Amino acid sequence: MEKLRQALFTIVIFAYLLSFTACSTIQHKEANENWIEIFTPTRSSIAIEQYPLPQVQLDYKRLTALTIELDQLTTEAATLRRTFLFKEAPYISNVENMRIELMVFRLQNALDSLVNIADYYRLNTSPDIEVHTRGAIIGMNAALKHTYYSSLFVSMYHDKKELIKLFNTAHPSYDIPPGFYKSVAYNVTSIDDLEQFDISWVLFSKDLANPGSTLSNVKASDPVYGKLIGQMDQLHAAAHIQMEYLLYARWSHYPELKDRIAHSRMSKIGNDIGSGYNSSVKASRGFIFKNVGRIKNPTIHVLNFSTNQADKIEAMLQPGDILLTYTAGYMSDVFLPGNFKHGITYIGTVEQRRKAGLTYKFLKQHAESEQQGKKLIEHVNAKTMPDGYEIDIVEAVAEGVVLHSLDKLLDTHINRLVAIRPKISDEERLNQLLLIMQYVGTPYDFKFDFQDDAYQCCTEVVYRSTDQKGTINYSLVKMKGLWILAADDIMRYYLTENTAGFEFVFLADKSSNPKDLNAIIHTGSKGLNALYDLMDVKPLVQQP
């Protein structure tokens, strides 16, 4: 059996290399294909947003972090496979089951994030052709990695029925429905997706082979994007081999696949890729990725904050305030059910930071090294983002713990926002802000491991910077198999266990009219009562 598999694998590799060679010598016969429809048969070709270079740079960091996470998950998946090959016990222990659940949870999170990146650059554009091309590279790389890691995962376990059964089992503790492995396997063995995968790669390769193309110039002039492009050859080849292997391996069970491959539309339209390519490259430049579903629900709209409301919010906030937010319409919402999903710390303006005590002298005295001291001073002095928004918050997102702008979030991300102020001494607040500044640049905690200080997720930063200050003494909550502190947990702790530990600042939410997207800001006792109603808990002391 092993020899048969090796022979089959060799045949697949040979067939792939032969088909790829053939693609490079195909002559043009007709140029009437609508390439946008090929790549996005169910999507509009109208871009819905124009992105600047800083957005591309942030997504590069996010893509890098996701690659590290998926590489680690691949190692863990391979170790799991080996472990179960020599497993003596005939059953799965609770510890082993939790391990599998966590792996599936992390894998789904990471793959969804790659889809999000790829689809963003497939649907959107930039008026600057250089920036647009860099965005296209980021999106293409994310799409290839999504296909590569998906097909690798499916290939690794395709003949392990017992493990596949576990992967397909629903995991209520993580809100993962049944059929995870089946869903991933279906996507990577879809003949239609395989065709689009090949076509997009041919278009991309031809654009890259043109020495006068922007894509070619970016590769030659920018080492960062040159490296990303360099990864794509290996990603495409490996993913293609893995997908072909899965298709061939399934022939005995799904003979219709063989007929589909033999009559593949790819073989018919391949002849149209030659000289007709140049006439369609402009239209297809933003759609050279695998057709994947957009994670953000386009029917969900964020709140509208007026300029006066934004100014009012800014006037109410102080450095050290905790902001908990909710943004609707993202796939990640299913993993963290509740009214609030994200934790942020407000750090204010440069002047406010210094007034709070973050002076050059203080930073140098409390830095762990001279290099860290310089970094801390740089963070405290940071005024604006590259797109002009004023820096006044710290948050942990996929690319790590970053300095960001509340105004930008109000413009683009907020469906609900609450601000609470820890009741702590000035010295404790200064130490809170110092720790937050020290965390800037820390990698994102994809494992949500609150026991590991080297990586930080959003509420983890809030937890570490405020716990044991004043009367605050959080207890971690077991959620989806992990001991964490979610945004809703912080809010419940305040409202039901320690009202003296925090001060309510404001709640920004929508009106009762679902068609009204204008934000309403609740303050004072009425705002606090609205917060209790939202969280569906009763006040320890009845509010007036």
Supply the CATH number for residue 481's domain. Answer: 3.90.1720.10
Q: What's the Rg (C-alpha) of the chain? A: 26
User: DSSP code of 213?
Assistant: S
How high is the pLDDT of residue 480? Answer: 66
In a domain, 341, yes or no: yes
Report residue 286 as tokens.
């933003």
Does residue 250 sit in the same domain as residue 394?
A: no
Which range among 65-69, 90-94, 206-210, 474-478 shows the weakest confidence by mean pLDDT?
Answer: 90-94
Backbone phi, then psi, for 520, in 5-degree steps?
-120, 130
Of 377, 382, 439, the residue nearest 405 (C-alpha):
382
Average pLDDT over residues 5-11: 43
Q: Domain boundary at 252, 287, 322, which? A: 287
Q: pLDDT tier at 235 (50, 70, 90 boundaries)?
A: confident
How high is the pLDDT of residue 14? Answer: 36
User: DSSP code of 479?
Assistant: E
For the chain, give percent helix, strand, coil, nearest 5. Answer: 60, 10, 30
Does residue 275 sit in the same domain as residue 353?
A: no
In a domain, 298, yes or no: no
Q: Are 467 and 474 in contact (CB under 8 A)?
A: yes
How high is the pLDDT of residue 413? Answer: 81
Report residue 385 as tokens.
């983002």
Does residue 373 sit in the same domain as residue 276?
A: no
How high is the pLDDT of residue 197? Answer: 66
Paired strand residues for 416: 326
Q: Domain boundary at 287, 316, 344, which? A: 287
Average pLDDT over residues 107-119: 86
How high is the pLDDT of residue 500? Answer: 94
Could you give the 3-state DSSP secondary structure of residue 321? Answer: coil
Asked whether residue 79 carries a pLDDT value surpassing 60, the answer given is yes
CA 438 to CA 380: how far, in whole Å? 11
User: What sign results for the dihedral spanned by CA atoms 134, 139, 144, 149?
Assistant: positive
CA 298 to CA 306: how far, in whole Å? 22
Average pLDDT over residues 506-520: 86
Asked whether residue 541 carries a pLDDT value surpassing 80, the answer given is no
How high is the pLDDT of residue 194? Answer: 66
Average pLDDT over residues 461-468: 94
User: What sign results for the dihedral spanned by CA atoms 185, 143, 261, 7?
Assistant: negative
Asked whether residue 19 carries a pLDDT value surpassing 50, the answer given is no
Does residue 266 sit in the same domain as residue 333?
A: no
Maximum distance among all alpha carbons in the chain?
80
Average pLDDT over residues 24-34: 33
Q: Are 122 and 40 in contact (CB under 8 A)?
A: yes
Most confident of 32-46, 85-99, 190-204, 378-392: 378-392
Asked whether residue 43 carries a pLDDT value surpassing 70, the answer given is no
Does residue 69 sit in the same domain as residue 212?
A: yes
Q: Tell me the CB-side half-sphere exposure of residue 448, using CA atoms within 13 A.
A: 22
* Contact residues for 255 (Cβ-Cβ < 8 A; gap 6+): none
Q: pLDDT tier at 301 (50, 70, 90 boundaries)?
A: low
Q: Tell me the CB-side half-sphere exposure of residue 173, using CA atoms within 13 A.
A: 17
Which range among 167-181, 290-304, 425-439, 463-477 shows the weakest confidence by mean pLDDT?
Answer: 290-304
Q: pLDDT tier at 26 (50, 70, 90 boundaries)?
A: very low
Asked whether residue 277 carries a pLDDT value surpassing 80, the answer given is no
**CB-based burial, 236-255: b 16+ in 10 Å, e otherwise:** bbbbbbbbbbbbbbeeeeee
CA 383 to CA 425: how far, in whole Å? 26
Q: Are 416 and 378 in contact (CB under 8 A)?
A: no
142 membership: H or E segment, kind and range: helix 129-157
Does residue 38 sit in the same domain as residue 84?
A: yes
Q: What percent of the chain shows pLDDT beyond 90?
A: 32
How high is the pLDDT of residue 287? Answer: 33
In a domain, 339, yes or no: yes
Does residue 281 sit in the same domain as residue 317?
A: no
In a domain, 241, yes or no: yes
Asked whether residue 225 carries a pLDDT value surpassing 70, the answer given is yes
CA 269 to CA 430: how far, in whole Å? 65
Backbone phi, then psi, for 101, in 5-degree steps?
-60, -45
Asked whether residue 285 carries a pLDDT value surpassing 60, the answer given is no
Does residue 85 sit in the same domain as residue 234?
A: yes
Does residue 201 sit in the same domain as residue 118?
A: yes
Host domain of residue 366:
307-535
Q: pLDDT tier at 524 (50, 70, 90 boundaries)?
A: very high
For 388-457, what is the HEC assignment? CCECCEEEEECCEEEEECHHHHHHHCCCEEEEEEECCCHHHHHHHHHHHHHHCCCCECCCCCCCCCCCEC
Does residue 177 sit in the same domain as residue 138?
A: yes
Which range among 16-20, 90-94, 108-112, 301-305 shows the weakest confidence by mean pLDDT?
Answer: 16-20
How high is the pLDDT of residue 184? Answer: 84
Average pLDDT over residues 468-480: 88
Query: For the chain, how many structural domains are there in total?
Result: 2
Average pLDDT over residues 477-488: 83
State pLDDT tens for residues 334-380. 456 678 988 999 999 999 999 999 999 999 999 888 889 999 999 99
How high is the pLDDT of residue 32? Answer: 33
Q: Tokens 């067939």: give the residue.
A: 15
Does residue 382 sit in the same domain as residue 484?
A: yes
Q: Domain boundary at 287, 316, 347, which? A: 287
The strand order across the sheet containing 342-346 reads 400-404, 393-397, 342-346, 322-326, 416-422, 502-509, 520-522
Does residue 458 sit in the same domain as residue 359?
A: yes
Of 506, 467, 503, the residue nearest 485 (C-alpha):
467
Instruction: Give the count of beta carbons closer than 10 Å to the beta carbon of residue 454.
Output: 8
How high is the pLDDT of residue 352? Answer: 96
CA 57 to CA 43: how far, in whole Å? 26
In a domain, 293, yes or no: no
In a domain, 270, yes or no: yes
* Contact residues for 307 (Cβ-Cβ < 8 A; gap 6+): none
How high is the pLDDT of residue 328? Answer: 57
Asked whether residue 526 carries a pLDDT value surpassing 80, the answer given is yes
In a domain, 431, yes or no: yes
Q: Are 538 and 532 in contact (CB under 8 A)?
A: yes
90 exposure class (CB count in 10 Å sphere: 0-12, 13-18, 19+) = exposed
Instruction: Give the count of beta carbons closer than 10 Å to the beta carbon of residue 196.
Output: 23
Q: Which residue has the higher pLDDT, 264 or 376?
A: 376
Asked whether residue 269 carries a pLDDT value surpassing 70, the answer given is no
In a domain, 57, yes or no: yes
Which range among 66-80, 156-170, 332-346 shows the weakest confidence by mean pLDDT?
Answer: 332-346
Q: Tell me the CB-side half-sphere exposure of residue 100, using CA atoms within 13 A.
A: 23
CA 19 to CA 48: how far, in whole Å? 36
Average pLDDT over residues 198-214: 79
